[in-house]
């Protein structure tokens, strides 16, 4: 279903979208209740000639209720989100067999180092492409993300993945695409005058096609 969010194309999309819509519905209901109450009270208790103000010391019961309901709600949302957060961003959450990439963000482009046919980084068959990340479908990949100059942010909306790229740090960010196709990769951190052109693409290939594409790229670069 596509409503507000773009179609999801990673294994994270289901969990993240569910939480997003749960929070949207809860905050939407709270918004309506508060705004309708505000307008209702403003009209009902407006100033009228001869009407005297009433003094009150409040109501303990009302205060307990309006404190307890939001408290329980945010604790439940926190518990629901915690597991998803840990799965997506936990320190050791990337699967061990994930295909490794290195992405260097700089003003104003992405340098994507692919692991090459051997599936490993820092070997002679690695190759680097500007503004394109090619990956196989249905396989976890882990991007070792860093930045050369200022803070950028690696954002693939269809995958529900967003991670700051910070100079001097190497941050792993993992995901697994569920549908072959072409997806937008954008910089989500205002990083300078050319920020608007830090658009790139993620190409998700079918598994066999990815193998032949990788082999062709590696061969072309060693000639």
Segment interacting with Cu ion (CB under 5 A) among 16-24, 56-64, 124-132, 181-189: 181-189
Q: Which residues neighbour 179 within 8 Å (Cβ) at sequence distance 6 or greater?
A: 9, 137, 204
Looking only at the bridges linking them, the beta strands covering 181-187 and 109-114 are unpaired
Shortest Å distance, C-beta 152 to Cu ion: 3
Q: Please name which of 21, 15, 24 lies closest in space to residue 160, comparing C-alpha atoms.
A: 15
State which residue, 102 or 152, has the beta carbon closest to Cu ion. 152
Segment interacting with Cu ion (CB under 5 A) among 25-33, 41-49, 119-127, 185-193: 185-193
Per CB under 5 A, 152 contacts Cu ion: yes
- Residue 192 CA to residue 182 CA, distance in Å, equals 26
Segment interacting with Cu ion (CB under 5 A) among 34-42, 43-51, 128-136, 145-153: 145-153
State which residue, 112 or 191, has the beta carbon closest to Cu ion. 191
State which residue, 9 or 191, has the beta carbon closest to Cu ion. 191
Per DSSP, the chain holds a count of helices (H) and strands (E) of 3, 10
Shortest Å distance, C-beta 109 to Cu ion: 9
Per CB under 5 A, 198 contacts Cu ion: yes
Phi, psi of 106 (to 5 degrees): -150, 165
3-state secondary structure of 84: helix
State which residue, 117 or 199, has the beta carbon closest to Cu ion. 199
Shortest Å distance, C-beta 171 to Cu ion: 15
Q: In what order do the strands lie in the sheet with 132-136?
A: 132-136, 199-205, 181-187, 152-156, 161-165
Per CB under 5 A, 191 contacts Cu ion: yes
Segment interacting with Cu ion (CB under 5 A) among 64-72, 96-104, 129-137, 191-199: 191-199
How many CA atoms lie within 13 Å of 16's alpha carbon, on the beta-carbon side? 21
Residues that bind Cu ion (CB under 5 A): 152, 187, 191, 198
């Amino acid at each position: 279903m596509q409503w507000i969010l773009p179609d999801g194309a990673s294994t994270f999309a289901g969990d993240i979208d569910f939480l997003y819509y749960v929070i949207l519905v809860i905050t939407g209901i709270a918004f309506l209740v508060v705004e309708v109450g505000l307008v209702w009270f403003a009209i009902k208790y407006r100033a009228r000639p001869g009407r005297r103000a009433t003094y009150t010391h409040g109501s303990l019961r009302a205060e307990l209720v309006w404190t307890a309901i939001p408290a329980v709600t945010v604790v439940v949302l926190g518990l629901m989100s915690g597991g998803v957060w840990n799965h997506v961003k936990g320190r050791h959450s990337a699967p061990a067999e994930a295909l490794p990439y290195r992405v260097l963000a700089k003003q104003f482009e992405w340098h994507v180092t692919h692991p090459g046919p051997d599936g490993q980084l820092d070997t002679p068959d690695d190759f680097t492409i500007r503004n394109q990340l090619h990956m196989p479908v249905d396989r976890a990949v882990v991007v070792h993300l860093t930045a050369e100059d200022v803070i950028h942010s690696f954002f693939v909306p269809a995958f529900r993945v967003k991670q700051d790229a910070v100079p001097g740090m190497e941050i792993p960010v993992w995901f697994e695409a569920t549908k072959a196709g072409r997806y937008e990769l954008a910089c989500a951190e205002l990083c300078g005058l050319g920020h608007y052109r830090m658009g790139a693409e993620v190409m998700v290939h079918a598994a066999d096609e990815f193998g032949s594409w990788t082999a062709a790229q590696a061969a072309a670069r060693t000639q």
